[in-house]
Amino acid sequence: MAEAPDVDLESIHETIRRTEEHEGGRFLRNIALSTALLAALAAVAALQAGATVNEALVLQTESTRLQAEASDQWAYYQAKGIKAAVQEASRESWVANNKVPPPAFQQTAERYAHEQEGIKQDAEAKERERDNKVKQAERLLARHHGYANAVALFQIAIALGAVSALTRSRKVWLGSIVAGAAALVLFVLQLGR
């Protein structure tokens, strides 16, 4: 009868278990490290998203105030126009009665017309400033959406990292890294806008 080889199977199993444990531990540490990095980047992106939307809201509020001021100026412009028309109507009633109108009618009408020009320029300046604020707010809102999308991608990458740790799946971890890289690219693109 041939004798079985004298191999210590118990020690081989222990070596395999330790190697597997060590390599699995390194894999989990790598997942934890990448997930922590993604979480930090997600926090920065979320702060940027919040800051840009707040700045956009301030600009929109300023544009609303400017619109109200421009509307007030246009109402003032119309009031001066009505006063000028009343002066002209009064002057014409004198002319209709074959009388010479007092020069004050003409002078007052001309003064109102001159005042109207200044009021018009002020109203148009406020409208231009309003339009500028609206454009700035729209650009900031577009950046905000980019940051928000980056945050969402970072969150997906973090979730995939957690799933890869639970399942010990390198493919899922790779998906986490790819999603995180895409989120980082999107985040960096917003910084340049």
pLDDT 10s digit of each residue in the chain, 193 long?
A: 455 445 454 655 465 556 556 666 788 889 999 999 999 999 999 999 999 999 999 999 999 999 999 999 999 999 999 998 998 888 888 888 898 889 888 889 889 999 999 999 999 999 999 999 999 999 999 999 999 999 999 999 999 999 999 999 999 999 999 999 999 999 999 988 7
- The total of structural domains in the chain comes to 1
pLDDT at position 95:
87
Is 123 a domain residue?
yes
Is 26 a domain residue?
no
pLDDT at position 110:
87
Quick one: the chain helix, strand, coil %, rounded to 5? 90, 0, 10
Is 5 a domain residue?
no
Q: State how far the Cα of 147 lies from the Cα of 18, in Å rounded to an integer.
A: 44
Whole-structure pTM value = 0.72
Is 112 a domain residue?
yes
Is 33 a domain residue?
no
Is 101 a domain residue?
yes
How many CB atoms are closer than 10 A to CB 165? 18
Domain carrying residue 86: 42-191
pLDDT at position 7:
47
Is 16 a domain residue?
no
